[in-house]
Structure 1
Amino acid sequence: MKQESIFPENFLWGGAIAACQAEGAYGQYGRGMAVSDISFYDSQIDRQDLAKHRNVTTQKIEEAMADSGTTRYPKRHGIDFYHRYKEDIALCAEMGFKVFRFSMAWSRIFPTGEELTPNQEGLDFYDAVLTEIEKYGMEPLVTISHFEMPLALVNQYKGWTDRKVIDLFVRFADCLFTNFGQRVTYWISFNEMNAGRFSTFKSTGVVADKTDNYIQDCYQAVHHQFIAAALVTKRLHEINPAGKMGCMIARFTTYAATCKPEDVLQMMHDDQYDNFFYTDVMIRGTYPGYMNRFFKDNGVSIIWEEGDKALLKEYTADYLAFSYYVSNVSSAQPNELDVTDANLKKSLKNPYLESSAWGWQIDPKGLRYTLNNLYDRYQVPLFIVENGIGAEDTVEADGSVHDPYRIDYLQRHLEQMKEALVDGVDLIGYTTWSSIDIVSSGTSEMSKRYGFIYVDQDDDGNGTLNRIRKDSFYWYQQVIKSNGADLSVS
């Protein structure tokens, strides 16, 4: 008997990648150096210690600039999507993708960020990628900024701390809209806007040893990104009124460690500072009142310019996108609980949840809670644009890749998405992280694999780069074909 789907008929099933983790072609075809090119791989650093992987100093930037190789800096070679995009997109189409999320690298279009004219080779590449996506009837979902701003803007302006970067970013976005605005409906301004709080350099370009007031510069940089997001939303709607600009955060769903009022209050603050501050500004269009006390307590004074408040209010995001991997625990006495560095940021362990090999705590029910929580607060369409599990996959002697852990993870999260739909949540799409194995964002290793498609490459960049369909490839193909009705494992 055929199962009936509760997913909308036009639900956008798909997967995601990022230019800085997939493209490769470092230093070729006019691309300039990006912040992602500083990300190094070091097997001696505990893979769960993300803080050490993210620690960027002026010295490390100088060392990276002096090293033209790719071995120590794996994001420079990625998985060679630049030359293999046709094969990769065809495989995604074979799964039945309705949408393919990717980013257009700023440094491939404007190598230093300050050029007056774009690099035509970069535009030609993304034109070809869009053509391939359109060939299979998929919707492109384009992230404008995904941890890949030109490094020159870090060295010249200290990243987003300088308001001049707003104009440079708007020029970049305007170039994308002018060239591709009629071909792309769904856009995201900034990947995980709240990453300025947990992965500062990749998100904002702020380097701790280049600033006299680190927290001030971090939040000033975020303010400039808010203004930039409003301006590019305005510009998109002018060029293509049917275009949709989404805002995005890494969702840190959090629970109180106990029912003590102090823990519940801490949970509220963690939710506000980690999540709602960013979405309140980009969806509601104003700075929330609770941030006034936070700024006062932490010595932060945001510098506003005339017109900023009006821009934020008028040009809010059309939909709310988010990544969901883990949930967290809040406590007024954090020293009394175990800690993990692995949940995207340092956080308290939840004793009721299992963890992945990387220490990320798995919480499918938290996704249902998150969907309801966000929809109740904002009443705008929601889009899950990242969800998945990083794991070490093994190629068997017969060339197959069995990944039941990935199927189990995704299956349980999809079941909770169904529950949220019954709850009345307006969910328009789901792009897993990732569609294909790519270089890890956090640790820059290849061993941490998320995709439905195995890429034959090791942590040092060695391998054939051959693509292999995993068991999860066929499972997700079945899920999409049934529009989410059939989540079973054959």
Structure 2
Amino acid sequence: MNTKFAAGFLWGGAVAAHQMEGGWDADGKGPSVADVLTGGSRGVPRRLTETIESDEFYPSHEAIDFYHRYREDVALFAEMGLKCFRTSIQWTRIFPQGDEDQPNEAGLKFYDDLFDELLKHGIQPVITLTHFEMPLHLARRYGGFRDRRVVDLFVRYARVCFERYHTKVKYWMTFNEINNQMDLSNPLYLWTNSGVTLTDQDDPREVLLKVAHHELLASAQAVAIAHEIDPELKVGCMIAYVPSYPFSCDPDDVMTAQLANRERYFFADVHVRGQYPAYARREVAAKGYDIGWRDGDAEILAAGTVDYIGFSYYMSTTVKAGAYSETRDAGRPPNSVDNPYVPTSEWGWPID
């Protein structure tokens, strides 16, 4: 048995900028959608607050203070033998509100310095353009990715990043875990992914599909721009990989699992193939949904297919037709049931 990685294999670690940097308002950084989310734990849900409440704990505000101590941490990464390090750029360090005319030079310089430090230690940066931290201003003023204008603002931000860092960063991703928001039973995903909150007048599924369309367009345009700036750049998509097993061989359970997996893989299908799968087109047409489709969108999607698929794997789930629980653990779909063949973590997640 071969027990060695192939030459060139990138063994590393991964984080999210808002979960580690801290410095949430340092050097001109603006507030993000992450900065108004309180801490939580199993049984204690996180809250989205209208303003910063002085008696609440906001994890993104201090985190581990990587913003000020990254050199120490990168040196430790090198001691561990890391060959790559995946993190993200905080959009609000570059464009604090998201719609300014010019980027924030202090934010740009921070990432220059971080990438230089990684490269000095022989560590390849793998960079996500946005990881659950879009500008709060874009969420509050525009309704997040409901509004197609935010597509243009994201694309402009992506261009700034590619132009500035293309000689230092070869591997990129556009949106982190873009498919999380398909789970409409947890509205927090729409907020963290897309800066969207639902109203009583909304059809949640229609809003989701419009947001998805706008983000797929934004991602495709970013990929095309990266390749235009530097053909050597590799730009991928990133999904949460949570495969669903049928609880039994009952055809209804099998179909439930197939549909659950289809929801999970929808975004990757479009990113890779450059077009909507037939089942998605049928749903939009049958329901009469307005997803913001315009002439030319098909060409944009086709021209911006990704170079690779990134994914995070947390657990598997087991689903059963007709099952529904409003108290299921976070991350598990509401029609999930316990898998009697695998243990679970303290969070109730299957260890598989």
Which position in structure 1 is the counterpart of 2:294?
305
Which position in structure 1 is the counterpart of 2:145?
160
Cα RMSD over matched residues? Answer: 2.0
1:212 Cα shift?
3.1
Aligned with residue 318 of structure 2, among 326, 329, 337: 329
The superposition leaves residues 29-80 of structure 1 with CA deviations (integer Å, 9 ceiling, x where unpaired) of 00000000111025xxxx3348x42x64xxx3x233xx3x585212111110
Which position in structure 2 is the counterpart of 1:401?
none
Q: Match for 2:230: what amino acid?
A: N
Cα distance in 1 for partners of 2:94, 2:326 equals 45
1:334 Cα shift?
1.2
Which position in structure 2 is the counterpart of 1:23?
21
Aligned with residue 131 of structure 2, among 146, 151, 162: 146
Is contact 1:280-1:288 (8 Å) kept?
A: yes
- CA shift in 2, pair 1:345/1:330, >3 Å: closer
Aligned with residue 228 of structure 1, among 218, 234, 238: 218
After TM superposition, the structure 1 stretch with the greater mean CA deviation from structure 2, 339-348 or 262-271, is 339-348
Runs of 4+ in 1 over 6 A off after TM superposition: none
Which position in structure 1 is the counterpart of 2:122?
137
Q: Match for 1:343: what amino acid?
A: G
Which position in structure 2 is the counterpart of 1:208?
198
Q: Which structure is higher in RCO with an 8 Å CA cutoff and minimum separation 6?
A: 1
1:28-177 correspondence to structure 2 within 5 Å: 28-42=26-40, 47-49=41-43, 52-53=45-46, 56=48, 60=49, 62-64=50-52, 67=53, 69=54, 72-177=57-162
Q: Please state whether the residue corresponding to 2:97 is helix, strand or coil.
A: coil
Cα distance in 1 for partners of 2:287, 2:208 equals 12
List gaps (5 residues or longer) in structure 1: 364-490
Is contact 1:158-1:210 (8 Å) kept?
A: no
List gaps (5 residues or longer) in structure 2: 184-188
- CA shift in 2, pair 1:344/1:150, >3 Å: farther
Q: Match for 1:36: what amino acid?
A: A
Cα distance in 1 for partners of 2:287, 2:23 equals 42
Aligned with residue 259 of structure 2, among 229, 248, 269: 269
Residues 1:340 and 2:328 are matched in the alignment = yes
Is contact 1:141-1:184 (8 Å) kept?
A: yes
Is contact 1:343-1:361 (8 Å) kept?
A: no
Is contact 1:31-1:108 (8 Å) kept?
A: yes
Q: Match for 2:42: what amino acid?
A: Q
The superposition leaves residues 285-318 of structure 1 with CA deviations (integer Å, 9 ceiling, x where unpaired) of 1111112344466663322112111111121010
TM-score when normalising by structure 1: 0.67
Cα distance in 2 for partners of 1:356, 1:249 equals 22
TM-score when normalising by structure 2: 0.93
Aligned with residue 279 of structure 1, among 255, 268, 283: 268
Q: Please state whether the residue corresponding to 1:63 is helix, strand or coil.
A: coil
Cα distance in 1 for partners of 2:125, 2:74 equals 11
Residues 1:244 and 2:218 are matched in the alignment = no
Which position in structure 2 is the counterpart of 1:483?
none
Using the aligned pairs only, state the percent identity: 41
Is contact 1:48-1:359 (8 Å) kept?
A: no
Is contact 1:339-1:348 (8 Å) kept?
A: no
Residues 1:179 and 2:167 are matched in the alignment = no
Cα distance in 2 for partners of 1:8, 1:63 equals 50
Is contact 1:13-1:97 (8 Å) kept?
A: yes
1:214 Cα shift?
2.9
Which position in structure 2 is the counterpart of 1:318?
307
